[in-house]
């Protein structure tokens, strides 16, 4: 029996109808890292342990050839370690003379956040993203008058921005909201996913935590609900969707209290 058949049979046998399963991975042996869920007759399964590539979907009625094609790993290998970002000359340490920078960080109360840079070419507040102590990417927020995209990724090497060290993962709309959230919530790690949809890398990271809370902007409530369902199905974690009255970075007292109670 091939590996893909073993994984398929394991997922099928351990997944209750219209339910979820979480346990040890049959491939790498990871403790409690393997999840599977039956969603409308399609079993989705995944191991979120770093270095294990077991994941897939199994639909009722597929032939063995079709299943094999679905489980076949991507032929393009992913880099094990992202490169260190080369800091361009126009990313500088901010000074009191960078008025747009100073106004932005003081408006949102993030002037003490360590490592911030300023993009003097595009007038952006720049948030570095670290991997094992190295800067691999950065996210820039436009603060000038030029008509340019609000947010900008400098290398694209990072899949997400996280801040905090808590066991509950709080998924928010943007980098500023993530930083502000951790100023009020000591027991959370806040994540901005840097995109419009969840990827395998997001799910893998989310699976490292004990609980997940999705709290996007009020106008993204449908996406908030969809994220909650997807995260719970893939990871098996207790996952909650919070309807906010305003974006977290506005520090609404009722919203902060909601998050504090559930996290």
Please give the average per-residue pLDDT across 118-129, as a whole number.
Answer: 98
Based on the domain organization, do 41 and 118 belong to the same domain?
no
Question: pLDDT at residue 152 above 70?
Answer: yes
Question: pLDDT at residue 235 above 80?
Answer: yes
Residue 111 lies in a domain: yes
What is the percent of the chain where pLDDT is above 70? 82
Residue 172 lies in a domain: yes
Quick check: pTM over 0.75? no
pLDDT of residue 193: 93
pLDDT one-digit tens code per residue, 42-99? 777 788 777 787 777 766 554 444 444 444 444 445 567 899 999 999 999 999 999 9
pLDDT of residue 78: 54
Based on the domain organization, do 186 and 111 belong to the same domain?
no
DSSP element (H, E) containing 35: strand 34-39
Based on the domain organization, do 18 and 65 belong to the same domain?
yes
State which residues form the domain around 108: 91-153
Name which of 83, 104, 92, 254 is nearest 174 in CA terms: 104
Name which of 223, 209, 126 is nearest 172 in CA terms: 223
Residue 11 lies in a domain: yes
Based on the domain organization, do 216 and 167 belong to the same domain?
yes
Residue 83 lies in a domain: no
Based on the domain organization, do 243 and 172 belong to the same domain?
yes
pLDDT one-digit tens code per residue, 187-219? 999 999 998 888 888 999 999 999 999 999 999
Residue 29 — pLDDT band, cuts 50, 70, 90? Answer: confident
Residue 128 lies in a domain: yes
Q: Please, are residues 94 and 101 in contact by the beta-carbon 8 Å criterion? A: yes
pLDDT of residue 248: 96
Residue 81 lies in a domain: no
């Amino acid at each position: 029996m091939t590996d893909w058949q073993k994984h398929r049979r394991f997922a099928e046998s351990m997944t209750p109808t219209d339910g979820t399963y979480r346990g040890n991975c049959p491939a790498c042996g990871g403790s409690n890292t393997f999840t599977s869920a039956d969603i409308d007759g399609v079993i989705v399964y995944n191991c979120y342990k770093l270095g294990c590539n077991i994941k897939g979907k199994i639909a009722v009625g597929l032939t063995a050839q079709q299943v094999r094609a679905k489980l076949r790993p991507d032929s393009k290998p992913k880099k094990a370690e992202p490169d260190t970002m080369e800091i361009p000359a126009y990313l500088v340490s901010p000074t009191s003379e960078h008025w747009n920078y100073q106004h932005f960080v003081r408006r949102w109360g993030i002037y003490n956040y360590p490592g911030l840079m300023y993009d003097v070419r595009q007038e952006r507040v720049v948030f570095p993203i670290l991997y094992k102590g190295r800067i691999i990417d950065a996210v820039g927020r436009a603060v000038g008058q030029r008509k340019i995209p609000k947010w900008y990724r400098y290398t694209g090497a990072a899949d997400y921005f996280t801040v905090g060290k808590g066991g509950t993962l709080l998924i928010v709309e943007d980098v500023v909201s993530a930083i502000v959230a951790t100023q009020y919530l000591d027991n959370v790690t806040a994540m901005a996913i840097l995109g419009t949809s969840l990827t395998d890398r997001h799910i893998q990271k989310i699976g490292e935590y004990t609980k997940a809370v999705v709290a996007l902007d009020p106008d993204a409530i449908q996406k908030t609900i969809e994220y909650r369902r997807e995260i719970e199905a893939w990871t098996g974690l207790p996952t909650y969707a919070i309807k906010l009255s305003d974006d977290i970075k506005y520090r609404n007292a009722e919203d902060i209290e909601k998050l504090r109670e559930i996290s």
